[in-house]
Structure 1
């Protein structure tokens, strides 16, 4: 640890509020615990949960740092007990429960993936949160298989663009919703098979038209609220509805008889509070099934814009404005 400084620059708001609370402060450099590595962070992804945490609506889970940031890329600077010294100096990206908005952050070794030559550090930092989320929900909870059609709301978000990318790699047909024609165009350019402007068209009617009335096998929903019963109308028999966020409301009225009659499955998950064992299992699956595509350059994140750490407020303002297409990333240097 002698080459690691005692202090670092970080974003660690003392109070909830608007983007202006995201100011640079000095914090102690964390020390890796058993099974952890310390990463000298080159870049950190910005995600919707970071915005919610800043507003005071999504506190970090017990034991997680108060510093926001759920995904990072950088170089291993120190290792904790039980982690082999060969990890030192390795370029990695990682899913973490918090701490990404700082020059150093700790990550469980099992939640790290190597950064191949095909990725820049900035691109690598934009992958873990969306990849872990989409893989665990689309392929594990919804059992996506080649030939399935999936409806994804928020088609140009980080989650949406990752779902499009994975769908393209694994033989899915993707239908996405977006809020503007420009975003629909961007989603199609990124690889979506169909894009619906939900402000101009009823997505339920459009899904029926696209699928010839058969419906989709899977809905990945980030909206909740009154979208849920509408989503169920889009599902084919034996369809699966997966809730991963509730941006439009945490409660919904469910037509139970429709669920029974058409044998629908309603499920969902949150990722941040899951234990290290689960996230390590997902990382192992990604290493086997997805990472070869990353190494070959066939899977990259859709990048929107990068900001230096001191402009984290601008990064959050851009995310809240909703104009971004793909991932927003903070760079440390």
Structure 2
């Protein structure tokens, strides 16, 4: 089978196309014929050595993807050959099992049925972004552990970076669950994307704008939860807009400005700071999140493309290095790699 591999950490140039044997599923595993592979920031960071140097093994990039069950191992229930699925964290603890290849093998709990009417592009796009967004929306002390219509009724959610992939998913999932959604963006164009995703209000930052005042004008009592992509840069804003007993869910620190915690301010708010990284969350929570994501997809509440505020950028398998460069350079939207015909 065709596969993209690298045997050293470094820039996208280390990626190369090769042939690898088709893997066989073991007990409790399924083999998936990959149709579309999704690229996330974590993929280029892993490839570049941002999480530690590659240790003498041949790795295949990309954690997310979608495709068709091609074989099942002993003891597998609930899925059968021919079923359409999406997968996430495919390469976690299995460096050679990334989705930038024609076949992968994953434990059955990592394969989610792709709802009827949902395309492979959507399946490859949800994974890490949507589950990260779900986690960020479900960690408040007094909030829901699962998302469904009405789960966030009466709550105000502030999504920082509403034009990013996680921000887009957070807007759509929060709106589906009944929240009032405010998004922050850096430009008019990104504001249009956040509005297309479903944000009720959009606040543009930069140029001396007082983001906290703008948010407070929309939500005078403050916000219940912040989905935060730039913890350091936005720390002062977050404490200025957060309600007492509110939560800041931190899944990134874009810009790398140091995150200095003002203990007195957070303590005065009885605030909760929750850091979000899927690799160590546990599969019970990841599976529940995936099930809720599927419910949103089935309801038509989680979409991709221009009209959903998430433009698509498509590459062929042979162009995986270019796809990684696009994400690394900050492409707005979702980068997808077509691995095979549907």
TM-score interval w.r.t. the shorter chain? 0.7 to 0.9
Unaligned segments of structure 2, at least 5 residues: 92-97, 145-151, 305-309
Matches within 5 A, 1:140-179: 140-141=139-140, 143=143, 145-179=152-186
Who is 2:316 aligned against? 308
CA distance in 1, matches of 2:53, 2:184: 30
CA distance in 1, matches of 2:270, 2:79: 50
Secondary structure of the structure 2 residue equivalent to 1:54: helix
CA distance in 2, matches of 1:86, 1:71: 18
Who is 1:192 aligned against? 199
Secondary structure of the structure 1 residue equivalent to 2:112: strand
What's the offset of the Cα at 1:86? 5.4
Secondary structure of the structure 2 residue equivalent to 1:146: coil
Unaligned segments of structure 1, at least 5 residues: 1-7
Return structure 1 stretches of 4+ with deviation > 4 angstroms.
Answer: 59-62
Q: How many residues align?
A: 319
What's the offset of the Cα at 1:250? 7.8
What's the offset of the Cα at 1:16? 2.4
2:219 pairs, out of 207, 211, 225, with: 211
CA distance in 1, matches of 2:295, 2:78: 25
Contact kept, 8 Å, 1:293 with 1:299, in 2: the verdict is yes
Q: Structure 1 residues 60 and 66 mapped into 2: Cα distance closer, same or farther (>3 Å)?
A: farther
Is residue 2:105 matched to residue 1:112? Answer: no
What's the offset of the Cα at 1:236? 1.2
What's the offset of the Cα at 1:204? 2.2
Is residue 2:294 matched to residue 1:294? Answer: no
Q: Structure 1 residues 296 and 240 mapped into 2: Cα distance closer, same or farther (>3 Å)?
A: closer
Q: Structure 1 residues 243 and 45 mapped into 2: Cα distance closer, same or farther (>3 Å)?
A: same
1:182 pairs, out of 177, 189, 204, with: 189
Contact kept, 8 Å, 2:248 with 2:272, in 1: the verdict is yes
What's the offset of the Cα at 1:49? 0.3
What's the offset of the Cα at 1:303? 4.1
Is residue 2:134 matched to residue 1:126? Answer: no
Contact kept, 8 Å, 1:118 with 1:294, in 2: the verdict is no
| Cα RMSD after superposing both structures | 2.5
Contact kept, 8 Å, 1:119 with 1:297, in 2: the verdict is no
What's the offset of the Cα at 1:207? 1.5
CA distance in 2, matches of 1:250, 1:107: 37
Who is 1:41 aligned against? 34
Q: Structure 1 residues 48 and 59 mapped into 2: Cα distance closer, same or farther (>3 Å)?
A: same
Who is 1:57 aligned against? 50
Contact kept, 8 Å, 1:79 with 1:85, in 2: the verdict is no
Per-residue deviation, residues 32-85 of structure 1 (Å, max 9, x unmatched): 2332211000001111101211221025999x9832211111011111232139
Contact kept, 8 Å, 2:70 with 2:81, in 1: the verdict is yes
CA distance in 2, matches of 1:65, 1:34: 24
Who is 1:264 aligned against? 271
Q: Structure 1 residues 308 and 220 mapped into 2: Cα distance closer, same or farther (>3 Å)?
A: same
